[in-house]
Amino acid sequence: MHNLQINPQRLWDSIMETAKIGGTAKGGVCRLTLTDLDRQVRDWFVQACEEAGCTVTVDEMGNIFARRPGKDNSLPPIAMGSHLDTQPTGGKFDGILGVLSALEVMRTLKDTGYETNAPIEVIDWTNEEGSRFAPAMLASGVFAGVFTRDYADSRKDREGKSFGEELDRIGYRGTERCGDHPLGAFFELHIEQGPILEDEEKVIGIVTGVQGMRWYEVTVTGFESHAGTTPMHLRRDALVGAARMVDAINKVALNHPPLAVSTVGLVEVKPNSRNILPGEVFFTVDLRHPEDEVVVAMEAEVRAEIERIAAELKLEIAIEQVWDSPAVKFDAACVAAVGAAAVENGYSHREIVSGAGHDAAYMARVAPTAMIFIPCEKGISHNEVESAEYEHVAAGANVLLRAVLEYDNREKVA
C-alpha cells in the first residue's frame, strides 16, 4: 500500500479528453445535465470503467455505479465519486475531477493487482449542479431520502422540459431503486472553489463539513404599461422593485459578517421590451452560512425586506423555497483517513469547511463520508477560466487512493 501512486499523466489526459465534450471557445465546458453532451460523457465514462475491470450499473435516477470486487464482497462498497455535469459556463475540473480521480484509483488498483478487502466503487451523481433542474444535488438527494423520485422527475428547466423526460430521452434511466445501493463509506475529491488553500500555499484541504444553504425563487408582479405615457408616480414597475430587493438581499449577508453570503444569480424580466414597463420579474436567491441558525435569521430578514419593498411599490410577490441543505459535519474516521493520507504523502494541508454544496453532503446522511480539496487558481470556479495545477491534481488523487485504502484496512478479513 505504501508504494502505491496513481498515474498523474493518465489522469490529466483523461481530464483534458473529457473537457472536449461540451468544450467552449474560452477553454471551459458547457455540459448541462441530461443533455446529449451529458449522455456522451456518460458513455465515455462507462466504457472507461469497464476497461478498468469494473462492473457498471445504473439506478432509476441515472446515478452510475462502477464496482471493483474485493476479498469480501459481502461488505458494503467503499465509494468515491462526484459529478460529470457542469454549469453553463463551467470549467474542466469542477465535479469531473472527483469522478476521473476515482477512475484513476481503479486503474491503479488494476495495474498493480492490489486487492482490497471491501469492494470499491466509483459513482457519478446526476444533476449535482442544479443549473438546469433545481435544486442542486438532486439525484444524491433522492438516494439519501431527502427528495422523492416523483419530485425529482417533475422538476422542469426554464424551457419546460422535465427531469424525468430528459433522463428517459438520453437512455440513462436504470432499474435499481435509488437508495437501494448499500455504501460502506463515501469519499469525494473536489477543487476548493475558493481561495483559501492557494492563499495559504496548502496542497490538501481536509474537509470537515459543509455549510448550510438555502435556495429560493421569487416572482415579483407589477403592471405592464407604456414607458412613454405612464407617469412615474402611477407606475408599478416590477423591475424597479426587484432591483431594490436584490440590493437588500446583498445587505442581509453584510449584516452577518464575515461568513454569510447571499446571491441573486438568475434574473428574468417580462415582457423584456425597451418601451414597456416590466410587469413581472423572476429571480433566484442563494443564502449560505456554516451555522443553520444564521441561515434561518437571514431568510427572515430577506422575506421582510422583499415584503417591505413590494408594499411600498404596490407590487405582488411570491417566494418559494426550493432547497434547504443544512450544515453537515463529516465522519471522524473518514476525515482521519484523509488526514493520514495527506501526512503519509508529505503534502501540506489544513482542515477546511466547504462553502459550496456537494453530493457528499447528502451522502453523509446515509454513510460515513469525507471530502478532499485541492487548490484552484485564484479560487475561481463556475467559470470557463477555472484551472488547477497538474501537481495538485495528482496530489489530490493520491490522497484519495490512500484514504480509501486506509479506510479499507478497517475491514481486514480475519
Is 94 among the annotated ligand-binding positions? yes
CA distances from 388 to 10, 105, 339, 348, 385 (A): 16, 19, 21, 16, 10
Q: Give the cell for residue 102.
A: 476515482
Q: In angstroms, rounded to a whole number, what is the distance separating the alpha carbons of residues 31 and 218?
A: 26
Is 233 among the annotated ligand-binding positions? no
Sign of CA pseudo-dihedral 196, 202, 208, 209: positive
CA distances from 329 to 210, 263, 270, 349 (A): 7, 24, 42, 19
Q: Using DSSP bridges, classify how beta strands 349-354 and 204-210 pair: parallel, antiparallel or unpaired.
A: parallel
Q: In angstroms, rounded to a whole number, what is the distance separating the alpha carbons of residues 163 and 114?
A: 39
3-state secondary structure 288-352: EECCHHHHHHHHHHHHHHHHHHHHHHCCEEEEEEEEEECCEECCHHHHHHHHHHHHHHCCCEEEE
Q: Which residues face 259 on adjacent strands?
A: none
Is 83 among the annotated ligand-binding positions? yes
Task: Please name which of 386, 378, 374, 358 lies closest in space to residue 24, comparing C-alpha atoms.
Answer: 386
Q: In angstroms, rounded to a whole number, what is the distance separating the alpha carbons of residues 20 and 351?
A: 33
Is 392 among the annotated ligand-binding positions? no
Is 226 among the annotated ligand-binding positions? no
| Residues placed in the known binding site | 83, 94, 129, 190, 382
| Residues placed in the known binding site for Zn(2+) | 83, 94, 129, 190, 382
